[in-house]
Amino acid sequence: MHYISSGQGSAVILIHGLFGNLDNLKGLGRNLEERHRVVRIDVPNHGLSPHWQKMDYPLLAQAVIELMDSLQIEAAHILGHSMGGKVAMATALSYPNRVTSLIAADIAPVSYEERHEKVFSGLENIDLIGLKSRSDALKQLLTAGLDEGTAQFLLKNLSRTDEGFNWKMNLAGLKSCYKDLIAWHNDIEADAFLQYRKPTLFIRAGDSDYVTAEHRQAIISQFPQVQAKTIEGTGHWLHAQKPAIFNRIVIDFLAKHDGK
C-alpha cells in the first residue's frame, strides 16, 4: 500500500474512508506527529495504492499488518473514518496483539444498506475524455444530484493527464467490491465471533445516521472496553467539519492509552 510516514514516537496509523485518500486525515496527522510516528495510508483501490479485484475487510486487515511488518512496527494505535474505521476494526479484531488502541470515526461494526448509488452514477457518467476542466466535472456532479461538499470531496480523486483526466481511484473495482465494503464479516450471533478487548473509542457525528442506538449491542459485544464521544453539529465528515474538536478528542485518548 502507498503510505506517508512522519514524526517519531509510538506508531499511529490513519485510514481514510470510501472515495478518499491519505490526505483526508493530513490535518490530524500534523497534530499527532510531535509525539507519534504517523502513517497515513491509501487504502487499496484509492489514491496511489494498488488496484484490487477483490476487496474485503479480512484482506484489508491483512494488508495493514503486512505494511506494519514492512515498516518494522510491532504495534500501533489505529484510527479509521467510515470504511477506514471498518478496516481499523477488522485489524484490531483479527490481530489484537498488533493494535495498541482503536479509534473508529462515525462507523459501526455492522452491515449497512446501499447508500452510494447516486455517487457511483454521478462519477461513472462523467466523460473523462471530453472533460475540459475540474469545474466542468463539478457541474456534472451537481447536475447528478450531489451536494457541493460531496462533489468537491469526490473531485480530489480527479487527476489531469496528457490526454485529459483520469480517476486516481479504481472506480470499477470499488463498485464491484461495494457489497463487501458495506458488509461486516464478524457475526456476533456466531459462537466464535471475534472480540478486541483493548481501549477503543467510537467518535460519532451528531447529525449522522451511521452510528445509532440500534448499533450499541454490536459495538459493545465486539469491543467490550469501548467508550464513545459525540461531536454535535457535524455530519459524516466530522473530522473535516470540526477538526479542532475531533483532533483534541483523538490526542487526549492516545495520551491516556499510549504504552498500555
Q: Which residues are catalytic?
A: 82, 236
d(CA 142, CA 161): 23
Residue 180: all three cell numbers together: 463487501
Q: CA end-to-end span of the chain, whole Å?
A: 28
* Edge-first strand listing for the sheet containing 226-231: 3-6, 36-41, 10-15, 76-81, 99-105, 200-205, 226-231
Q: Give the number of other Cβ atoms within 10 Å of residue 255's Cβ.
A: 9
- Letter for the amino acid at 227? Q
3-state secondary structure of 96: helix
Residue 129 · residue 161 · CB < 8 Å? no
- Beta-carbon contacts of 143 under 8 Å, excluding residues fewer than 6 positions away, are none
